[in-house]
Amino acid sequence: MKQKAASAIQCSTCRDHQYVVFNQKGKVQAEACKCVACEKCHGTGRIFGEDSDGISRIRICECADLAKKLKLFNNAGIPGKFVHEGLSNYEITPPRHRSLKDALTRSRTFIKEFVQMKGQYSQGLLFMGEPGLGKTHLAVSIIKELILKHGVECKFVDFFELLKDIRHGYGEDISESDFINPYVNVKVLVIDELAKGRNTDWELTILDHFISSRYNDDNKVTLVTTNFKDQLENEIGQHDKGNQRTGISNASTRYTLEEKIGPRIFSRLMEMCKKVNLQGKDFRQEQF
């Protein structure tokens, strides 16, 4: 082990990951590092050549695996602000609440089990807790790793943004399913900020379609983040304290997740995902 740690990194640009990541137009993108530029196929992933029987065929180049992973990564829709986020830089040292360490462990376990079972795995994770605890950081880190290390097709969707796109689409004759299907069909999906917004009947109908389609397919895994909890704090006193501290009464302390999305969607979600509760103080507020 020591020897391995001591071995020098060959490429300072990618630290031997073979790719570099960057934020482009608000999305995280990746490209092959210069150190792996393939001379055999010139980056196309295909080699056209004559076999021993004299017939010309197209062969898949050995670099195609990386190219496939990068393509999946660039289609995943990961928001640009998470360009450098990963499980290795998720902050858990005290005074951070110990539930965050647990959330990190469970994220790692999820990846391990998913890979061990070769994707024949349908139980996702539901990250619940106040804003600023890094729920999206964890969910994004999971799909980054599944894509770049294991070549799994994953996508990220901000459901609130998707609803906006669908609404715009009506005016341009683009059907709902054109927007929804890429997400419904993907192997691993992150739904970020579930239950954000007003949750009108129309919004809940779309959400129901979304969740039900994935629920009915044993082969799909859904990772969800939400600011809403499954139970409200019992003591009224705690509520008051909370409201005094922030000066506002936010929706996530007034409603449960079930109240926001309805019992049917909620119960399906509970079957599809294991709950991961995050507690403690907002990272971003602490910085001020």
What does the binding site for Zn ion look like in residue numbers (CB under 5 A)? 11, 13-14, 33, 35, 38, 40-41, 61, 63
Nearest-approach distance from CB 45 to Zn ion, in angstroms: 6
By beta-carbon proximity to Zn ion, the closer residue of 72 and 186 is: 72
Nearest-approach distance from CB 4 to Zn ion, in angstroms: 18
Using the structure block, give the residue that is written with the tokens 């005074």. 95
The encoded tokens of residue 254 equal: 């007034």
CA angle 216, 217, 218 (to 5 degrees): 110
| Count of C-beta atoms within a 10 Å radius of residue 87 | 17
By beta-carbon proximity to Zn ion, the closer residue of 12 and 93 is: 12
Nearest-approach distance from CB 22 to Zn ion, in angstroms: 14
By beta-carbon proximity to Zn ion, the closer residue of 35 and 206 is: 35
By beta-carbon proximity to Zn ion, the closer residue of 35 and 92 is: 35
Nearest-approach distance from CB 109 to Zn ion, in angstroms: 30
213-250 per-residue burial string, b: 16 or more CB within 10 A, e: under 16: ebbeeeebbbbbbbbbbeebeeeeeeeeeeeeeeeeee
Residues 6 or more apart from 16 whose CB is under 8 A from it?
A: 9, 10
By beta-carbon proximity to Zn ion, the closer residue of 65 and 286 is: 65
Nearest-approach distance from CB 210 to Zn ion, in angstroms: 38
DSSP secondary structure string for all residues of 157-179: EEHHHHHHHHHHHHHTT--HHHH
